[in-house]
Amino acid sequence: MKITPETIDLLLRLGAQLLAAIAILIGGWLIAAAAQRAVRRRAKQSEALDPTLAIVLGKITRLLILAVTLIAVLNQFGVQTASLIALLGAAGLAIGLALQGTLSNVAAGIMLLVLRPIRVGDVVEVGAMLGTVDEIGLFVTSMNTPDNIAVVIPNSQIWGSAIKNFTQNDTRRVDMVFGISYSDDMEKAVAIVSSLIKSDERFLKDPEPLVAIAELADSSVNIYARPWVNRTDFFAAKLDLTRKVKERFDAEGVSIPFPQRDVHMHQMTPQAA
């Protein structure tokens, strides 16, 4: 086979293109890895970003740089990348429509990780589900219920629901109702509840607790108690106050009535025919 100068020139040109493509590929790969590490490091240093989101941002950065690198490599061989990009865009749209439910979970997961209405360790109520957040992922969020049942919830359901976060604020108000008989001394009962709240150091002085006659119910006069506590003392303080009020009411002769109704019987006189 005779090697002509044109063949040599073609081989040299292809060799140069191949070397340039290899150099671009290696350089893009190294730059993508370095950029991924840099983004993850900077994201982890930010207090506003969740660690899971830092990993995701790093991976997205790497994939974007690799995509640009691939396009640059194809350009070295004279491939028209405009049509390829359009084809990939159409394929991406089709995939997106097919996986819109999954992508909505990903979008909701990113919003949860960026805005952080909930964090790992928070006690939250989402819809009818109450539990402690164990993990926030891109697709689902894992929770443990108070009776230690593991629950996995799609992120789109969490983002689309009202979220009650019981851990976010440092203080909570304890809302309690104590019913007494209509024949009992109301001021005495209010004084008993107020003294029990003041004697317990877990109840805060500021905001000032509210204890007042609030409702004349069917079977009782209801006293509303609204003291404030630190978040960590909520349940223990509430349970202790309930027990102490019952004990003091019994000792002071204040009764807690059972629900009751007065039934009046009327004798009907038969009419003469």
The first and second tokens of residue 270, run together, are: 């038969």
What CATH code would you report for 5-98?
1.10.287.1260
What pLDDT shows up at residue 39?
81
Q: Which two tokens stand for residue 128?
A: 């009818």
Give CA angle at 50 (47, 56), nearest 5°: 130
Residue 112: what pLDDT?
A: 87
Domain 171-252 classification at class level: alpha beta
Q: Residue 60's closest CA among 110, 116, 26, 99?
A: 110
* Terminal C-alpha separation, the chain: 135
CATH 2.30.30.60 at 118-165, yes or no: yes
What angle in degrees, to the nearest 10, is found between the helix axes of 234-252 and 186-199? 140
- Break the chain into its structural domains and give their ranges: 5-98, 118-165, 171-252
Query: pTM for this one?
Result: 0.63
Please tell me the predicted confidence (pLDDT) of residue 88: 65
Encoded amino acid at 239, one letter: L
Which residues of the chain are modeled with pLDDT < 50? none
pLDDT, tens only, 134-151: 988 888 899 999 999 999
Rounded CA separation 144/229 (Å): 25
Amino acid at 56: V
